[in-house]
Amino acid sequence: MANTTATTAGGGDFTSNLGRIYGIYTGGFIAFIILMAILSAMGVENVIIGYLFMGFTIVIYAVIGVLSRTMQVGEYYVAGRRVPALYNGMATGADWMSAASFIGMAGSLYLLGYDGLGFVLGWTGGYVLVAILVAPYLRKFGAYTVPDFLSARYGGNLARLIGVIVLFSCSFTYVVAQIFGTGLISARFLGIDFNVAVYVGLAGILVCSMLGGMRAVTWTQVAQYIVLIIAYLIPVIWMSTVKTGVPIPQLMQGQALANITALETAQGITLHHITPFAHGGYDAKNYFLLILCLMVGTASLPHVLMRYFTTPSVREARVSVAWSLLFIFILYFTAPAYAAFAKWTMLDLVASGLTPENIAEKAGWMMRWAAADNTLVQICGKAATDTAAIVAACAEKGVTALSFADINLNADMIVLATPEMAGMPYVISGLVAAGGLAAALSTADGLLLAIANALSHDIYYKMIDQNAPTSRRLIVSRILLVMVAVLAAYVASTKPSDILSMVSWAFSLAAGGLFPALVLGVWWKRANSAGAVAGMIAGFGITIFYLVMTQYGADFDKATPNMELWWGVKNISSAAFGLPVGFAVMIIVSLLTKAPSRDMQDFIEEIRVPRGKQMMEEKIA
Amino acid sequence: MATPDRVSYWNKTKSLMFVMLGLWVFFGYIIHMFVEQLNTIVIFGFPLGFYMAAQGSLIAFVVMLFWFARRQNAIDEEHHVNEE
């Protein structure tokens, strides 16, 4: 029933051979890693290995992008709705796991210990809400974009327009973080200036998404998932084997935790890694609110929801959510182990008798990172660029033997630096860089496509020119995609904040703005247009107000004092206010105004059952 | 539209949704409120409270979703509203 738009040449062949194609691809990638290891052993320079890793993987993504180019609307927006559940799960995994998951999360777990696990829980549990509340119903409706659904359910272009505004705000914040991540990787591993590196990263993103829309993005994301998961698992399996003799880091994490606690006690650190609700200002209230905002945000982010528009049926959409979470789970339950082994390694290093004079010899990698960006590694409160700088800084503070607390590592560099920290060969560093790049690129592709689709399909086609021919719609979409991408790269080059915060803001914006309208739209027939519009404005308004006022203040300057936090709630959980306000306003306004028409109630009945044709049909161009 | 069969279908779908939501609240929040008490139990070096947040709840979410997909599909078929 799925193939409502035109059939495409060669599509069937490709989908029936998926297993073989990606099997060969995975084998090829592993062979490439081995080749790099051989080249490295033969004495090829590190920076060349770095270029080869990043260059080779980007070329692969570009080839997939070019091969999947399309000029058909159904293919461009929803990959022809022919993506099997398992592969859609893999693509969603890559779409989902961004620079924040790959680069930022284990680093935050390293710094925050137990309290960092709020990110792990929040970014997995949200899929339960996706599966039970939203995704299957949107699939039945048959939308191209999330605002499509809002417009159909809440009758008209006002709901659509507000949906587009929320979508743009959260996806744009999110994409800035991804481009920031690609810039960080390019700067360190290719040795180019950060401000130039963000535009290099941008070029990599564009080759994948511009030509083939959703179809190209889907098949590149599957390829990117394979690269990123291999790159994430190898260093931590390596560390686990070296430290414990058992190559199962998730299991041996227990031993790592026990050793961390012992080393912390020996070094007089009283705030333990495993202590709950004590690190970085995460008291129990902030911990649980963060989990809530991330989970609800998951079920509201348009670039995630639109992945479930590509499955052949409602049934496949449900199974696909489960597959998505399984593929995401593989990385997420490894991240705490990654952090634990990295922390164990660092504590061991400090315990070996570290002084300002011998640190360059024992841990030269810190100086290389400090040279890439002087905020990344600080020792005794100053950038650790060379021995002289470290000795001077420590002498000033009267430190003669370095303790764990004297060494300040940035959360965003820990995963990327772990191979060097644990003394692995450089080829592993190159692999991790390629993995981080895959994670950032795949998410950025999905986000840019979500933004460009909303602008071209919802604003241009549905609101400005309903008679626009297909070819013009798709060209408009591509031009907008490039424009948004360049703007995002510019914002990223100003380094607005760290990756994890920017991404968390995106979740709060989506949760506050879209969640009530999406969920009540399916589950409460009485919800009407006035209620939804008021609810979205109120929920999104409060969220963005709290975020901007506490982060920048009314003068948009990060440096000057900002608005006080309300009840001490951190602004990465801004939706803690937007969400209840959004629900309350939507319910109250709906009840005060007229109930939806008979036709609309029938429409909701129809969305709730899988059988029957999808509600929104696209005329074949 | 609202035939008796459709009503019963939607009631079953709703119950399943609430069961899932309840499990979600339990594994997402409630169990982690007892982290300090659970941490006194140590298995393979893992304090249990830490383990639940790092791995235990995640495993529960994955299993729940596969189970949900099966259950909901069975409800669809029982009420003949599955896709042909």
Give tens-digit pLDDT for B3-38.
888 899 999 999 999 999 999 999 999 999 999 999
Is residue A439 assigned to a domain?
A: yes
A332 with A374, same domain?
A: no
| SS3 (DSSP) at A513 | helix
Please state the domain count of chain A.
Answer: 2
- Chain A (255-314) residues lying within 8 Å, Cβ to Cβ, of chain B: 255-258, 274, 276, 284, 287-288, 291-292, 295, 313-314
Q: Of B49, B51, B84, which has the smallest distance from its Cβ to A1's Cβ?
A: B84
Q: Does residue A571 sit within a domain?
A: no
Q: Least CB-CB distance to A114: which of B53, B55, B81?
A: B53
Say if CB A586 and CB A527 are below 8 A apart: yes
Task: Supply the DSSP string of A308-348, one letter for each residue.
Answer: GGGSSSHHHHHHHHHHHHHHHHHHHTTHHHHHHHHHHHHHH
| Count of beta carbons in the 10 Å neighbourhood of residue A420 | 19
- B16 to chain A, any CB pair closer than 8 A? The answer is yes
- Is the distance from CB of A605 to CB of B1 less than 8 angstroms? yes
Phi and psi at residue A383, to the nearest 5° = -60, 130
Residue A286 belongs to some domain of the structure: yes
A315 and B CB contact within 8 Å: yes
Q: Residue B63: is its pLDDT beyond 80?
A: yes
**Domain stop point among A482, A498, A514:** A498
Q: Which of A442, A471, A498 is the last residue of a domain?
A: A498
Rounded-to-5 percentages of helix, strand, coil across chain A: 75, 0, 25
Residue that is written with structure tokens 């005329």 in the block: A619
Burial class (CB in 10 A: 0-12, 13-18, 19+), A472: middle
Cα–Cα distance between A586 and A576 in angstroms, integer? Answer: 16
Contact B54 A120 (CB under 8 A): yes
Pair A190, A115 in one domain: yes
What range does the domain containing B25 cover?
9-78
Amino acid identity at A222: V
- Report ipTM (2 d.p.): 0.96
**Domain-located, residue B35:** yes
The single residue listed with the structure tokens 């060494």 is A407
Q: Which domain holds residue A385?
A: 354-401
Token pair for A281? 């200002």
- Domain contains B26: yes
CB contact under 8 A, B62 and A322: yes
Task: Chain A: give the shortest CA distance to residue B72, in Å.
Answer: 9
Calculate how close chain B gets to A128, using CA atoms only, in Å.
7
Cβ of B53 and A129 within 8 Å? no
> What is the chain B residue with the closest CA to A256?
B45
A246 touches chain B (CB under 8 A): no
* CA–CA distance, A481 with A456 (Å, rounded to integer): 9
Q: Are A553 and A561 in contact (CB under 8 A)?
A: yes
Q: How far apart are CA A77 and CA A126, in angstroms?
A: 24
Residues in CB range of A345: below 8 A, 6 or more apart: A239, A243, A418, A421, A422
Ramachandran region of residue A155, left (φ > 0), alpha (ψ -120 to 50) or beta? left
pLDDT given at position A287: 94
Q: Is B63 within the bounds of a domain? A: yes
Is A574 part of the contact surface with chain B (CB cutoff 8 Å)? no
Domain co-membership, A180 together with A108: yes
- Contact present, A138 and A78 (Cβ < 8 Å): no
Question: Please, are residues A206 and A485 in contact by the beta-carbon 8 Å criterion?
Answer: yes
Structure tokens at A290: 């963060």
Interface mutation vs chain B, best among A114, A260, A275, most B CBs within 10 Å: A114
Amino acid at A156: G
CA-closest candidate to residue A92, choices A123, A133, A53: A123
Mapping DSSP onto H, E and C, the string for A176-236 reads: HHHHHHHHHHHHHHCCCCHHHHHHHHHHHHHHHHHHHHHHHHHHHHHHHHHHHHHHHHHHH
Residue B47 CA to residue A342 CA, distance in Å, equals: 19
Do A531 and A586 form a contact (C-beta atoms < 8 A)? Answer: yes
Q: Which residues of chain A have pLDDT under 50?
A: 1-11, 619-621
Identify whether residues A205 and A311 lie together within a single domain: yes
The pLDDT assigned to A383 comes to 86
| Residues A256, A262, A264, A266, Cα dihedral to 10° | -150
- A298 and A441 share one domain: yes
| Nearest one of B52, B23, B26 to B37, comparing CA atoms | B52
Beta strands of A491-612 (E only): which ranges?
none
Q: Is residue A384 part of a domain?
A: yes
Please indicate if any CB of chain A lies within 8 Å of the CB of B6: yes
Tokens of A521: 């739209």
CATH of the domain at A276: 1.20.1730.10
Last residue of a domain, one of A483, A498, A513: A498
> A333 and chain B: CB distance < 8 Å anywhere?
yes
Contact residues, B window 36-65, toward A, CB-based 8 Å cutoff: 36, 39, 43-47, 49-51, 53-55, 57-59, 61-62, 64-65
Chain A from 582 to 601: CB within 8 A of any B CB: 601
Specify whether A164 is located in the same domain as A57.
yes
* Cβ-based contacts of B64 with chain A (< 8 Å): 128
- Residue A216 tokens read as 């190209």
| Number of structural domains chain B divides into | 1
Q: What is the pLDDT of residue A502?
A: 85
Is residue B3 included in any domain, yes or no?
A: no
Give the best residue of A128, A321, A329 to mutate against chain B (max B CB count within 10 A).
A128
| A409 within a domain of the structure (yes/no) | no
Distances, alpha carbon A51 to alpha carbons A31, A415, A534, in Å? 17, 19, 51
Residue A557 lies in a domain: no
The angle subtended at Cα A545 by Cα A542 and Cα A550, nearest 5°, is 125
Integer CA distances (angstroms), A102 to A117, A317, A339, B37, B50, in order? 14, 26, 12, 31, 21
- Token code pair at residue A371: 């040279």
Cα–Cα dist A454/A17, whole Å: 32
Q: How far is CA A61 from CA A324, A451, A482, A498, in A?
A: 21, 21, 18, 27
- Residues A80, A211: one domain? yes
The confidence score (pLDDT) of residue A617 equals 59
Same domain, A110 and A236: yes
Q: In this structure, what are the phi and psi dihedrals at residue B46, rounded to the nearest 5 degrees?
A: -80, 120
* Yes or no, beta carbons of B50 and A114 under 8 Å apart: yes
